[in-house]
Homo-oligomer: A and B are copies of this chain.
Amino acid sequence: MKKPYRKPEPGDFVEVKINDKIEKGKYLESHDRGILLLKLDNGYNIGLKKEDISEIKVVEKGESKKEISEMKLSGKKPIIDFYLTGGTISSKLDPSTGGVRNLIDSKEFFSVYPEIFDLADVNVKAPFSKQSEDMMPSDWIRIAKLVGKSLNDPQVKGVIISHGTDTLHFTAAALSFMLGKLSKPVILTYSQRSSDRGSSDSRLNLICSAHMALSDMAEVMLVGHATSNDDYCYALQGNKCRKMHTSRRDAFRPINCKPFAKIWKDGKIENIREDFNQRNKEKVIVDAVFDEKVSLFKAYPGNNSKVIDYFRKNFKGLVVEGTGLGHVSTNGKFNLVPELKKAIEKGLLVYMTPQTIYGRVDSHVYSSGRKLKEAGVVYLQDMLPETAYVKLGWILAHKQWRGSVATKRKMLENISKEFNPRLENKFLE
């Protein structure tokens, strides 16, 4: 920077002269001392090298953080309880490592995302901060209990949870079982790019999440980019979606069902499905338990049958990701059927899901399926392996549903739309 300038405050509307061009926008806090961060009118952030700036002028003073905090308590807008749990959406680039680090200060978070305050009085809560690869079943339980409390507060219109992407679909599935008689929207959201990157997807995801949190759909939903553009979001069914790309902004895809709705940032919501649970006044039943003695196993050609013995010794329940319609090897030295049969006889509960991810398992078509069914493997139709794993751990934590018959009955019960009985055979096109 050639000349010193009066430092503007975050939130101020400024004009910046840079290489003889003028850029206008809202001044944001930048985590890189050499960069001035501006939020443009079109919603995008740009970073300007301070050394290239010749002049900066505060055109209009912004609302101070204190004022923002007062907005939160306006009492005039619907109330959303917002849980920050970590992940990229609440992290920023760390210029010293080139990686990202967590934002744990909720004020800092909301100084970056002021628009959501226009829509609601947002109660920000940061119970803990974790990357989602570190989330454990005990975290699902913590989140479910907190969210349950919020939902049963008559003042609260809806709940948003921001969360890392890696295991977000596991947490969403857990909430879909742990929150019974859901009365209000429970929205999980995320970003694939941190908030201080120009290409961040967090802004659209957050605004659309707020619109959905105020909607009439009392469902556990994952709200995020529907395409790789910044045009609109989908509200996906929490227990029938999956992270399907390491880095795309629309990484989450609905599996074996349609999204509940399409949401634009101006608040337009287009319902795609009609089978959602309506907002209601019932008390939410928080049933937040999990038995960690469950495991997930993917079958593949050449897998050693010893592995089944490992599962039998260490777990009560096993979700198999079978090949094709739900198969494992049935011949030669890799034959898994006798090992599975023995393990089932000794009490291991074994469930079958598709490793193709899309589609429905079926034990009837091929002999491998018929043998597995005979051995006691229970086929879970079009349920995702990840959802089946979460559901099984949740069921086994209930004394009244233990034992192979009771567990099977409960696993096959359509508790939270985890089965889609309709004949849909679609990828999302």
In the complex, what residues of B have CB within 8 A of residue A245's CB? 356, 358-359, 425, 427
Given contacts A248-B425, A360-B246, contact A323 B133 (CB under 8 A): yes
Question: A193 → chain B, closest Cβ, in Å?
Answer: 10
Are B301's CB and A135's CB within 8 A? yes
Given contacts A100-B365, A300-B167, contact A246 B356 (CB under 8 A): yes
Categorize the interface residue count of chain A: 35 or more
Q: A335 — nearest CB in chain B belongs to which residue?
A: B134
Residues in chain B near residue A131, CB distance under 8 A? 327, 330, 366-368
The reply to whether B136 and A324 contact each other, CB–CB distance below 8 Å, is no
Q: Is the CB of B298 within 8 A of A292?
A: no
Decide if B304 touches A314 in the complex (CB within 8 Å).
Answer: yes
Partner of A324, one of B100, B166, B367: B166
Which B residues touch A361, using CB under 8 A? 246
Instruction: Name the 8 nearest CB pairs between A and B, nearest first.
Output: A246-B359, A166-B324, A133-B327, A166-B323, A245-B358, A245-B359, A134-B331, A137-B302
Nearest CB in chain B to that of A324: its residue: B166
A125-144 Cβ-contact flags toward B at 8 Å (1 or 0) = 00000111111110010000
* Minimum Cβ distance to chain B for residue A423 (Å): 11
**Of residues 230 to 244 in A, which have CB atoms within 8 Å of B's CB atoms?**
242-244
Across the two chains, which residue of chain B brings its CB closest to A299? B133
Does A191 have its Cβ within 8 Å of any Cβ on chain B? no
Q: Contacting A244 at CB < 8 Å: which of B133, B326, B357?
A: B357
Q: Which of B164, B300, B357, B368 makes the CB contact (< 8 A) with A386?
A: B300
B324-A243 in contact (CB<8A): yes
Q: Is A329 an interface residue (CB 8 A)?
A: yes
Do A360 and B247 contact each other (CB < 8 Å), given the known contacts A131-B366, A134-B368, A323-B167?
Answer: yes
Report if A154 contacts B (CB, 8 A).
no
A425 to B326, CA, bound (A): 30
A325 at the interface (CB under 8 A from B): yes
A71 sits at the interface (CB 8 A): no
Interface residues of A in 335-391 (CB under 8 A from B): 354, 356-362, 364-368, 370, 386, 389
Instruction: Give the copy number.
Output: 2
Chain B nearest CB from A57 CB (Å) reads 37
A322 CA / B294 CA spacing, docked (Å): 19
Give 17 CB contacts A-B under 8 Å: A133-B366, A133-B368, A134-B330, A134-B331, A136-B302, A136-B334, A137-B301, A167-B300, A243-B323, A244-B427, A245-B425, A245-B427, A247-B362, A248-B359, A290-B302, A298-B321, A300-B386
Measured CB to CB, the closest approach of chain B to A374, in angstroms, equals 13
Q: What residues on B are CB-neighbors of A100 within 8 Å?
A: 365-366
| Contact partner, A170, options B136, B301, B370, B389, Cβ 8 Å | B301
With A245-B359, A246-B360, A296-B298 given, can you name 19 additional A-B contacts, CB distance below 8 Å?
Answer: A132-B323, A133-B323, A133-B327, A133-B328, A133-B329, A134-B332, A137-B301, A164-B324, A167-B300, A243-B324, A246-B324, A246-B325, A246-B354, A247-B325, A247-B359, A247-B362, A298-B298, A300-B386, A306-B314
Q: Is the CB of A330 within 8 A of B133?
A: yes
- Interface set, chain A 89-110, CB cutoff 8 A to B: 98-100
Across the interface, which residues of B come within 8 angstroms of A242, CB to CB?
A: 356
CA distance A360 to B254 in the complex (A): 21
Q: Is A165 close to B, CB under 8 A?
A: yes
- Given A133-B323, A323-B132, A368-B133, CB of A247 within 8 Å of CB of B300: no
Minimum distance in angstroms from A8 CB to a CB of chain B: 31
How many angstroms between the C-alpha atoms of A243 and B354 in the bound complex?
10
